[in-house]
Amino acid sequence: MNLTPYNPSATFEGPAFPRSFRYLATVLAAVTIYISAQALLSLPAATIAAIDYRVKILVACALLLVVYTTYWFHASRIKIDETGITQTWLFNKRVRWTEIVSSRLIAIPRLECIFPPRLVISSGFGRFKAFNGGDPVLWQEFARIHFHFRKK
């Protein structure tokens, strides 16, 4: 275990998810909304009126969640600087270099365009945070961070 803080050579910032992953998420969200709309339009008006309002609210919330999550796939950014790693997301994640106990780089070779590499950071006592990388420059920095903090 390496107890010396990591010091990146520069500040790295980029998307948390690759472009192809974001497009795939958008297509899946659009298909989900389209199929939901088609199903709704195929029902007779009397059937729609008979559906309990709580079910209507639940379905509307589910569709809003699909749209909101898709938005964050596009808006999420990761930043690696001299203080640590930050990722914007539904809930922002941040870890300082001094908090890191170990790291693990998880990637599926040749499928980075669909499943972005993740850097999983352990800050001790069973606390883990996973950071996504959507850019090859970020993947290289993830590898350097992993080798710096890997368990020996």
Cα(112)–Cα(70) distance, integer angstroms: 19
Q: For residues 18 and 134, is the Cβ–Cβ distance under 8 A?
A: yes
Tens of pLDDT, residue by residue over 37-55, are: 898 888 888 888 888 889 8
How confident is the model at residue 1, as a pLDDT? 52
| C-alpha pair distances (Å), 28 with each of 21, 23, 53, 56, 139 | 11, 9, 27, 22, 25
Cα(11)–Cα(83) distance, integer angstroms: 10
Q: For residues 89 and 17, is the Cβ–Cβ distance under 8 A?
A: no
- Strand, coil or helix: what is 71? helix
Which residues of the chain have a pLDDT value below 50?
Answer: none
